[in-house]
C-alpha cells in the first residue's frame, strides 16, 4: 500500500496540479483503509475480549440470566409451551465440522422471561455459510432478522457468537454498527440435525433468547 508521503516528494515527480490531485486521492484512500480496519470487529479473532464492554458483561451474566429466565418460563408459560421448551433444552453437546454445519436450517426463536414468561415463534429459514474466513449465520425470513459470526473457544462444547439484529426491510447489520442491535451468545451443537444459539440479556423484550436450528 502507498503511504501518504510528504507533499514535496509528490510535487518533484508530478506537475503541481496533477500532484495535488494524486496526493489527496492516495491520502484519502489510506485514511479510508485505516478507518475501516479500526471499525472491523475481531481483526484478531479473539472472543470475547474483542467485544464491547457491555457485551462482555452480558456473557459474564450468562448462567445467571439463563437460570432465571428458564425458571420464569416454566413458572408462567402454558403447559404446551413449557413442554416445547423442555424439548429445546434437551440434548448433550457434541461437535460438528464447519462443512457439516453449513447449509439451510429451519430456525425458531424462543423468548424467555421479561415482558412475557415464554414466547415460542414458528419456524423460519436460516443459513450458515463457511466462506473460509469463518462460519456465519443469517436468519433469512421473518420480521426479525439476525446475522453474525461464530468463533472457536477453548471450551470445545460450544462456539462464541457475535452478531446484530435488524427488522425485515432494513439493510443487514453487523456487530458493532449499533450497540443497541448487538447480539452475543453461544452456539451449542446437539446433533447433525439440531443446534441451539443462546443469547443472554437481549436489548429488547426478553431476558434470554434461544434460536433453535433444525434440519
Cβ-in-10-Å burial (0-12, 13-18, 19+) of 11 comes to: middle
Pick from 160, 154, 148, 210: nearest CA to 185: 160
* Domain boundary assignment for the chain: 7-39, 53-214
Percent of the chain at pLDDT > 90 equals 71
Give me the pLDDT at residue 3, please. 36
The model's confidence at residue 127, banded by pLDDT at 50, 70 and 90, is very high
Cα–Cα distances (Å) from 170 to 121, 166, 167, 173, 203, in that order, read 21, 7, 6, 8, 18
Q: What is the pTM of this model?
A: 0.77
Three-state SS at 191: strand
Segment among 14-28, 54-68, 149-163, 176-190 with least mean pLDDT = 14-28
* Cβ proximity of 112 and 206 under 8 Å: yes
Q: Report the alpha-carbon distance of residue 156 to residue 139 in Å, rounded.
A: 24
* Cβ proximity of 193 and 175 under 8 Å: no
Q: Which CATH fold would you assign to the domain 53-214?
A: Lipocalin (2.40.128)
pLDDT at 91 over 80: yes
Amino acid at each position: 500500500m502507498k503511504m501518504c508521503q510528504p507533499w514535496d516528494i509528490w510535487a518533484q515527480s508530478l506537475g503541481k496540479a496533477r500532484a495535488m490531485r494524486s496526493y489527496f486521492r492516495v491520502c484519502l484512500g489510506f485514511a479510508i483503509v485505516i478507518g475501516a480496519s479500526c471499525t472491523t470487529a475481531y481483526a484478531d479473532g479473539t472472543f470475547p475480549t474483542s467485544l464491547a464492554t457491555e457485551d462482555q458483561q452480558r456473557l459474564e451474566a450468562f448462567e445467571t440470566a439463563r437460570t432465571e429466565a428458564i425458571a420464569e418460563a416454566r413458572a408462567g408459560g402454558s403447559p404446551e409451551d413449557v413442554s416445547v421448551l423442555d424439548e429445546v433444552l434437551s440434548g448433550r453437546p457434541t461437535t460438528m465440522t464447519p462443512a457439516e454445519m453449513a447449509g439451510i436450517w429451519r430456525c425458531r426463536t424462543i423468548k424467555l422471561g421479561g415482558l412475557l414468561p415464554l414466547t415460542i415463534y414458528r419456524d423460519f429459514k436460516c443459513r450458515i455459510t463457511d466462506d473460509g474466513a469463518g462460519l456465519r449465520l443469517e436468519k433469512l425470513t421473518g420480521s426479525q432478522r439476525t446475522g453474525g459470526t461464530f468463533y472457536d473457544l477453548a471450551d470445545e462444547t460450544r462456539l462464541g457468537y457475535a452478531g446484530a439484529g435488524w427488522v425485515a426491510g432494513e439493510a443487514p447489520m453487523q456487530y458493532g454498527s449499533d450497540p443497541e442491535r448487538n447480539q452475543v451468545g453461544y452456539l451449542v451443537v446437539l446433533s447433525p440435525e439440531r443446534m441451539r444459539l443462546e443469547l443472554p440479556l437481549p436489548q429488547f423484550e426478553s431476558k434470554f433468547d434461544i434460536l433453535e436450528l433444525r434440519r
